[in-house]
Structure 1
Amino acid sequence: MKFRVFLFVCAALVAATTSIAIEDGIVCPKEQTDVVQIPSPSNCGIFYKCERGRPIVNKCPQGLHYNTRIMVCDYPSSAQCVAVKSEQ
């Protein structure tokens, strides 16, 4: 029973991660030798790490934004992120 719950939780996490990546339209390079991190265009507190051609969602701690210049989560005043609102 515990194993089934574990599998359900894992599947839910994968589904949540995938849906965010699809919403943002993130495309990772198929071949990569260096770490590739891509900011979310719709949420300053999210960035993607490309792993084997797949975008993996990473969330900054609450109150921080992803800083594209130094590739870390940072104070909003330093990150200077401007999120583009998605069309719905």
Structure 2
Amino acid sequence: MMLKNITLIAIFTNIVYGATFICSKEDIEETRCLGPKDCVYQNPNNCNTYIFCALDENGENPGPVVYPCEAGLKWNDRAKMCDWPANATC
């Protein structure tokens, strides 16, 4: 039951926060999102999450997917990773 609730929260978060973020087509065309720090962005609505712009199964139409940081961490956009709050850029 707990896993089901977490999954529902993750889906809801993706709908609410991801829908308002526009992925940069230029960034995706330049990097193809192949590197670990490519196409990853700070979530402007929530410092406890970050946005990864993923391509669809055809390698087109980038769309935002919201991922949570681990408990106690916040997004550090300079390092492109979840980090201690003192290091966060959000």
Tell me the TM-score normalized by structure 2: 0.65
Q: Which has the larger radius of gyration?
A: 1
Q: Which residue of 1 aligns with 2:45?
A: 42
Question: How high is the sequence identity, in percent, across the aligned residues?
Answer: 28
Q: 3-state DSSP class of the match of 1:56?
A: strand
The 1:43–1:13 alpha-carbon spacing in structure 2 relative to 1, beyond 3 Å, is: closer
1:9-58 CA deviation, whole Å, 9 max, x = no partner? 8xx56751222212xx2111346113201111121111110001010110
Task: Give the 5 Å matches for 1:1-88.
Answer: 12=8, 15-16=11-12, 17-22=14-19, 25-30=20-25, 32=28, 33-34=32-33, 35-52=38-55, 53-81=62-90
1:60-81 CA deviation, whole Å, 9 max, x = no partner? 0111001000100000001132
8 Å Cα contact 2:77-2:89 kept in structure 1:
no
> CA–CA distance in 2 between the matches of 1:80 and 1:66?
7
**CA-atom RMSD in angstroms:** 2.5
Gaps of 5+ in 2: 56-61
Gaps of 5+ in 1: 1-8, 82-88
> CA–CA distance in 1 between the matches of 2:71 and 2:77?
17
Tell me the TM-score normalized by structure 1: 0.66
